[in-house]
Amino acid sequence: MTDIDESLQQKSSSEDEEEEHVIKSGGHFDPQRWPYLKKFRILFLISLPTFLTPLSHVFLYPAMLEIKRDFNTTTEFVNLLFAIFFIFQGSTELIIFRALQSLGISASFSLGGGTISDLFIPSERGRAYAAYLIGYFVAFATGPFIGEFITQLLGWRWIFYVLAISGGVILLLLASFLPETFRPSEGSLRSIKPHKVQIVRVENPTSPSEESTSFIQRKRYNPLSPLKLLLQLNITLAILSKSVAFSIIYIQSILIIEEFSSFYDLSNLTIVLTYMSPTVGYLIGNFITGKYSDVLVKHESDDTQVIKEDKPVFKFPVMRIKVAYYSSLLVPFFIASLGWLLRNRVHVAIPLISTFIAGIGLQSQCNGVSTYLIDACPGKSASALALSEFFSYLLVVIVILIIRPLEVLVLLGIGWTVSIMALFSFLSIIFLFIVLGFDARWRGVNTL
């Protein structure tokens, strides 16, 4: 019994920090009041899986020809391999393990967004989400070249070995150092460890069943419950807008290297720069949107709210949509101009500038919608982000397997292909415009 008592009394340093915080906070467990050093340490940890997300498919771009040769298969099979990854984000076993790989990675975005919602107040979430995605864009820009290096040096199978080793290391870091950040709603009973059931002993119990009382009940897990969010038109239209922008990002990444190498006699180094041009735009747009939307949220009065179903409903989330809307206006023109600039063989710097500016608008749109979903769905931000990721990747799968952008490119040419992309971008802007106009009504916000 002594050994058991001693083991029960032992606590990790992270648990001691949480208890000390609870005492200072008057018995409340509130990660938003944690020191910034601790919050950014957690932010770094949850951002590590996002680095693997793009690597898991862009690593394979340089290895596509070798995979086709080794498995004696077709281009359609390799495209299916990418589609399997996207829908669940060789041979039969290759597809199965590819699906399992994407299942593990796909959880990072939704859970990461939920953690940001737990840790940061609304006027800090835009910048926090932007910092959270740094690893994603660094990997997106450098992944094809790292994959080429691994393929040439060790063979394409080592791409999966490297991903497995990296994933194992990240899993070990998360399991060892990532604390619980679940933040109960205001007014609910809070405990030092809110993810555990709090047991209180009752004096002089009349029966064994009354000896202890549980004050925190476990919620039943329903994997289909996030679909209820689609009944809210503002959520549905915001997700559709982000999904279209995300698919344009993917199509642009396919067409850039293909078309720049076709129209210009470029060295390998220059081709690398053409691929990185929109990625740098994504990174800059990510930070611009995060910073500016936080400024708008901070200046939005907290008095602009209404009590709905015993919960306050604030107006400030629509500020994220406002930034996403105005940023997205850059996309149609610069996406459409790209094709016609390439077709007329202007100086290579001009279409690169076009892809860069379009990249700023596209990622600003995606970032604005993602942080809007976090703010507009308190307590369900992870579910909302999971829905947005699902539909984004689903649309990419449709593009890969049904629309087949490279075949459309051959049929219509680069000019009309990117013009169609610009039309879809304009459609996504219409979705944002509708949400911007009706968000207050649909969410029940008192705007007076």
Question: So what's the pLDDT on residue 7?
Answer: 42
- pLDDT at residue 72 in the model: 67
Q: How far apart are the first and last CA of the chain?
A: 64
Ramachandran class of 201: left when φ > 0, alpha when ψ lies in -120 to 50, beta otherwise: beta
151-162 tens-digit pLDDT: 788 887 888 888
Which tens digits make up the pLDDT trace of 254-288? 777 677 777 777 766 666 677 788 888 999 999 99
Q: Determine which of 107-111, 231-235, 278-282, 386-390 has the lowest per-residue pLDDT on average.
A: 107-111
**CB of 362 within 8 A of CB of 331?**
yes
- Of 34-48, 282-296, 396-410, the poorest mean pLDDT is in 396-410
User: What residue spans of 63-121 are helical by DSSP H?
Assistant: 64-71, 75-88, 92-119
At 183, is the pLDDT very low, low, confident or very high (cuts 50, 70, 90)?
low
Same fold, 25-202 and 226-448: yes
Per-residue pLDDT at 447 exceeds 50: no
CATH class of 226-448: mainly alpha
Cα–Cα distance for residue pair 210/300, rounded to 1 Å: 49
Distance CA 13, CA 111 (A): 24
SS3 content of the chain, % helix, strand, coil (to 5): 75, 5, 20
Local confidence band at 321 (pLDDT 50, 70, 90 cut-offs): very high
What distance in Å separates the CA atoms of residue 194 and residue 190, rounded to the nearest whole number? Answer: 6
Amino acid 313: pLDDT = 58
Q: Say how far apart CA 242 and CA 272 lie, in whole Å.
A: 27
pLDDT in tens, 329-382: 999 999 988 888 888 888 888 888 999 999 999 999 999 999 999 888 887 888
What is the structure's pLDDT at 369?
A: 94
- What per-residue confidence (pLDDT) applies to 33? 86
**C-alpha gyration radius of the chain:** 24
pLDDT at 308 over 60: no
Closest CA to 376 of 432, 431, 444: 444
Q: 1-35 pLDDT, tens per residue? A: 444 444 434 444 444 454 444 444 444 568 888 89
Q: List helix spans (H) across 190-267.
A: 233-263
Question: Domain coordinates of the chain in residue numbers?
Answer: 25-202, 226-448
This prediction has a pTM of 0.76
Among 124, 81, 143, 22, residue whose Cα is nearest residue 374: 124
CA 55 – CA 50 distance, rounded (Å): 9
pLDDT of residue 356: 92
Which residue carries 């693997």 as its tokens?
52
pLDDT at residue 3, rounded to an integer: 47
Mean pLDDT of 286-293: 91
Of 72-76, 141-145, 306-310, least confident by mean pLDDT is: 306-310
Indicate whether 246 pLDDT > 80.
yes
Q: Which of 73-87, 168-182, 371-385 has the lowest mean pLDDT?
A: 73-87
Which architecture does CATH list for 25-202?
Up-down Bundle (1.20)
Contacts of 343 (CB under 8 A, 6+ apart): 263, 413, 414, 415
pLDDT given at position 146: 80
Residue-wise pLDDT tens digits, 125-138: 999 999 998 888 88
Average pLDDT rounded to a whole number, residues 312-330: 86
Mean predicted lDDT score pLDDT of the chain: 75
Tens of pLDDT, residue by residue over 185-199, are 554 444 444 444 444
Neighbouring-strand partners of residue 214 = 199
Residue 30 CA to its chain's centroid (Å): 24
Q: What is the dihedral of CA 292, 295, 297, 301, to 10 degrees?
A: -150
